[in-house]
Amino acid sequence: MKLPTPPLPDPPELEATCLSLAVLDAVLGPQWQYRTHSFDASWSAGARMASQRDGSGDDVFVVFEDAGVYVQGLAHESAMAPPSEGRPASAEMFAGLPPAMLCWLDEPAFGPRCCSFCLYWDVRSPGWHRCLDEGRDGADVDGSAALLGIYAGGVQAYREYAQDYFEVQLAESSVRSIYEQRALTDELIRALNPEADVRAARREASEMGYPG
């Protein structure tokens, strides 16, 4: 079965979205361990890293660097997941990965080579590529559609996630302000979370590279 490549945005938009998701989670969830999304603007020399962890064994790691973008995800209950926890995926999972990105396969923070899908964007050959593009029959057999959907779903996708995860109903205008990376004013922070520590939220956003 030919596996479809998830409809991710181009790298600049994807990176901006990852930053927005992390800032929104930081405002809604002051305690880092209870957040799903994070963004590290100074994670490695010349590279930024975004992550998504659901606390139940599923995760996504996205590395933005000069060579392009590396995406690794694990939907641990999917048909394409390694057969046992912590076991590396087969070498086929990483077929065609550009040499400049091979270093990420053994990154300890990612759970080295433990994933159900791997995608990349190579600046020398623009466009999203799936390393392993053949899989078993069935809908979303590797979990990529479910895990990556929020990156392409826009404001409404985050509002639905926040209602489910943080049990809050957010105004579309407030979420859109973060997606458009407008100034993180006291009013905007409190519109998202009336109980937020505005100074702490603004400090974290700044450390992530959020403008203003």
Structural domain boundaries, residue 195? 11-208
Residue located via tokens 């433990």? 114
pLDDT, residue 113, reads 87
Residue 99 lies in a domain: yes
pLDDT, residue 136, reads 63
Over residues 36-48, mean pLDDT: 94
pLDDT at 167 over 90: yes
First to last CA, the chain: 47
Residue 4 lies in a domain: no
Residue 37 lies in a domain: yes
pLDDT tens for each residue of 122-144 = 999 999 999 887 766 666 889 99
Closest to 192 in 3D by CA, of 29, 13, 19: 29
Over residues 133-159, mean pLDDT: 88
**Measuring CA to CA, how many Å separate 173 from each of 165, 195, 211?**
19, 19, 18
Residue 170 lies in a domain: yes
Look up the pTM and report it.
0.94
Residue 2 lies in a domain: no
Number of domains in the chain: 1
**Measuring CA to CA, how many Å separate 153 from each of 7, 18, 93, 113, 161?**
10, 12, 26, 27, 11
Over residues 4-28, mean pLDDT: 95
Over residues 25-38, mean pLDDT: 92
Q: How far apart are CA 93 and CA 132, in angstroms?
A: 5
Residue 125 lies in a domain: yes
pLDDT at 27 over 80: yes
pLDDT, residue 146, reads 94
pLDDT at 152 over 90: yes
pLDDT, residue 138, reads 62
Q: How far apart are CA 142 and CA 89, in angstroms?
A: 12
Residue 58 lies in a domain: yes
HSE on the CB side for 66, CA within 13 Å? 4
Closest to 52 in 3D by CA, of 67, 40, 65: 40
